[in-house]
Structure 1
Amino acid sequence: MIYRLLHFFLKLLSYIPFRMLYILSDGLFYPLYYIVRYRRKVVRKNLTESFPEKSLSKIKQIEKKFYHYFIDMTLESCKLASISPKKIKQRMQFTNTEAVNSMLRQGKSVSIYIGHYGNWEWVSSMPLWLEKSATGIQIYHKLRNKSMEQLMMHIRERMGGTCVEMHKTARCITELANRHEVCIIGFIADQSPRKQESRFFLPFLHHSTPVLTGTEKITKHYGFEAFYLDVKRKKRGYYEAEFTQLHENLQSLPDFELTTLYFQRLEQTILRQPELYLWTHNRFKHAEKLETNN
């Protein structure tokens, strides 16, 4: 019953025209930022520590731009409940797809390294651009609320991908490999590990940051190719995502080098337009600030 109600209201919201959606977004900014102050302390701390060279006034500018974008992205994600494949392809475009499709046609499976940057929910439309013979998988964190979990899986799978819980990743890939199925798997690989899982640290946004290395282990163990998805926001409601191969010979890399390459690329993307990153997550809670040279 709860799921049906949530689905009804989400579907209703998804039918709002984009122009009206952004008017609504603009109207929500003031109460969210100034009254509710949603996770303001976390965002300010993350931005200040990640950009120690910037003045407080500049930090506040990025902060406000982030909240404007955060509301935009949330409402845009609701559109997944009803938007057509044709329309989403106009608004979420992928480039250098031939590099990935060429691998898939050769029978090589591919890992796609994604970050919490831009509209990562719209990245679920990726299968519309890739070889239909390949199985599209999206790795995700299970939600505590079962109705919300069911709802999110529904909208994320509308464009042809299949959602797989993080702890079931290895089992799913093994089953695909045993059936000799070529697959393309999207990993949002900048998740913050739990304290007991914080074993590998690397420099990221002026922090010595603990990172998950499971994506690298899976990619190298199964002989996948690895690509980074660099997302750009062209204007409100329009994105471009470029596939870039992280390395041509993954087996030659030492342990954790692939993970390092990914975070270097992600940091470059964030520095280009920092307000499009998800600053509301306390992802540096187990990290240590790096000293800066003034």
Structure 2
Amino acid sequence: MKRVRSNLTVWQRAMVSLVWGCCWFIGLMPHWLRYYVLQEVIYFLVYKCLRYRVRVVTENLRNSFPDRPEAELRRIRSAFYHNLSEIFISTVSQARMTDDECRRRVRVRNLDEVLSDLRGRDALLSTAHFGCWEYDSFLALYTGDHYVAAVYHPLENKVIDAVYLRLRRRRNIRLIPMKEIIRYYIDHRLPAGAPGQRIGIGLIADQNPPLRPNSHWFRFLRQDTVFFDGIEKMALKFRMPVYFCSQRRLRRGYYELEFRRLYDGEEAVPPNEITERYVRQLEKDIEAHPELWLWSHRRWKHRRPSCQS
């Protein structure tokens, strides 16, 4: 199979072929069958039968929205599992989606503004586990002036990792492991004014990072929270503008992206200010559409030390 990781065993290669075939089969289904039949089956199995991380989701919602009644939290929880099922369908459907199909399903609201702003410059494109985040990198399909270096965490399961890598490969999208992104950027960035494609580094920044003695705590969804600071460090080190990808679900399988600038690459800012702006924008989007965020993630495993309160 083309572009499968070379360190896979024969058995793992066979499993990759099987899983890829399942993704391809789902992608062959008509839209109504995927999103209005199969999605509902997945929702029923994951939420009603397996009760996948229901306790985690419920606890996260209660802590984030302590003033909302239980009935509303249950509604959000149910809507979240519908969205989770839709994310699965949308992700595996990429197995047979052409670039034109991707553009039909994902539109960029302020495309001309963003492309004009980015002309001749590299940029950091920050996103989150919100909506169908796999589609955020589709900005690269709208321009030949830039390509997206999509940063990812390699998965422990080599079969699923190989399938995900293949699903994510598109024109103008390159997949870079998180540990290699700084070295990759240093090696591939172009001098100012030089011809060639510029780089948009796509980073999902709402994961739960390791806790360090100097970790900065942010108030996020009414809870003390730590965030990765890699976006801020790269922005300041390389004088790169930072954009936040805000996603809106139009209907099942269709999304709209809007890229909002958080930092222009020149402004003098105090420490943690760029990350603070990211946190506030993400919180605003979650407050508006809470069902679209990944509540099943164990986001608040760390607790702020009492000496830092």
> With structure 1 as the length reference, what TM-score do the two structures score?
0.92
Residues 192 and 198 (structure 1), Cα distance of their counterparts in 2 relative to 1, 3 Å cut:
farther
Give SS of 1:246's match. Answer: strand
Residues 140 and 82 (structure 1), Cα distance of their counterparts in 2 relative to 1, 3 Å cut:
same
Gap runs ≥5 in structure 1: 289-294
1:175-214 alignment, distance < 5 Å: 175-177=187-189, 182-196=198-212, 199-214=215-230
Q: Which has the higher mean CA deviation after the structures are superposed, 38-47 or 141-150?
A: 141-150
Task: Quote the Cα distance in structure 2 between the aligned partners of 1:17 and 1:158.
Answer: 22
CA offsets per residue over residues 70-124 of structure 1, 9 Å max, x none? Answer: 101111111111112122211111121223322432x211111101101111223
Does residue 142 of structure 1 match 2:158?
A: no
CA apart distance, 1:251 = 4.0
- Pick aligned residue for 1:20 from 6, 10, 33: 33
CA offsets per residue over residues 156-197 of structure 1, 9 Å max, x none? Answer: 112430111111011001111267662111111111102347
Residues 247 and 160 (structure 1), Cα distance of their counterparts in 2 relative to 1, 3 Å cut:
closer
- Pick aligned residue for 2:140 from 120, 127, 131: 127
Tell me if the contact between 1:135 and 1:161 (Cα under 8 Å) persists in the aligned partners. yes
Residues 246 and 21 (structure 1), Cα distance of their counterparts in 2 relative to 1, 3 Å cut:
same
Task: Quote the Cα distance in structure 2 between the aligned partners of 1:124 and 1:155.
Answer: 12
Q: Indicate the residue corresponding to 1:239 in structure 2.
A: 255
Task: Quote the Cα distance in structure 2 between the aligned partners of 1:154 and 1:183.
Answer: 21
Q: Indicate the residue corresponding to 2:175 in structure 1.
A: 163
Give SS of 1:143's match. Answer: coil
Give SS of 1:281's match. Answer: coil
1:51-200 alignment, distance < 5 Å: 51-105=65-119, 107-130=120-143, 132-177=144-189, 182-196=198-212, 199-200=215-216
Task: Quote the Cα distance in structure 1 between the aligned partners of 2:222 and 2:74.
Answer: 18
Q: Indicate the residue corresponding to 2:294 in structure 1.
A: 278
Task: Quote the Cα distance in structure 1 between the aligned partners of 2:100 and 2:173.
Answer: 16
Give SS of 2:274's match. Answer: helix
> With structure 2 as the length reference, what TM-score do the two structures score?
0.88
Give SS of 2:189's match. Answer: helix
Q: Indicate the residue corresponding to 1:42 in structure 2.
A: 56
* One-letter code aligned to 2:111: T
CA apart distance, 1:274 = 0.3
CA offsets per residue over residues 128-171 of structure 1, 9 Å max, x none? Answer: 123x1323210111101122112111111124301111110110
CA apart distance, 1:30 = 2.2
CA apart distance, 1:249 = 5.1
* One-letter code aligned to 1:176: H
CA RMSD of aligned residues (A): 1.8
CA apart distance, 1:287 = 4.1
CA apart distance, 1:236 = 1.3
Task: Quote the Cα distance in structure 2 between the aligned partners of 1:249 and 1:218.
Answer: 10
Task: Quote the Cα distance in structure 2 between the aligned partners of 1:19 and 1:229.
Answer: 28
Gap runs ≥5 in structure 2: 1-13, 305-309
Give the paired residue count. Answer: 287
CA apart distance, 1:65 = 0.6
Task: Quote the Cα distance in structure 2 between the aligned partners of 1:103 and 1:28.
Answer: 41
Give SS of 2:263's match. Answer: coil
Q: Indicate the residue corresponding to 2:4 in structure 1.
A: none
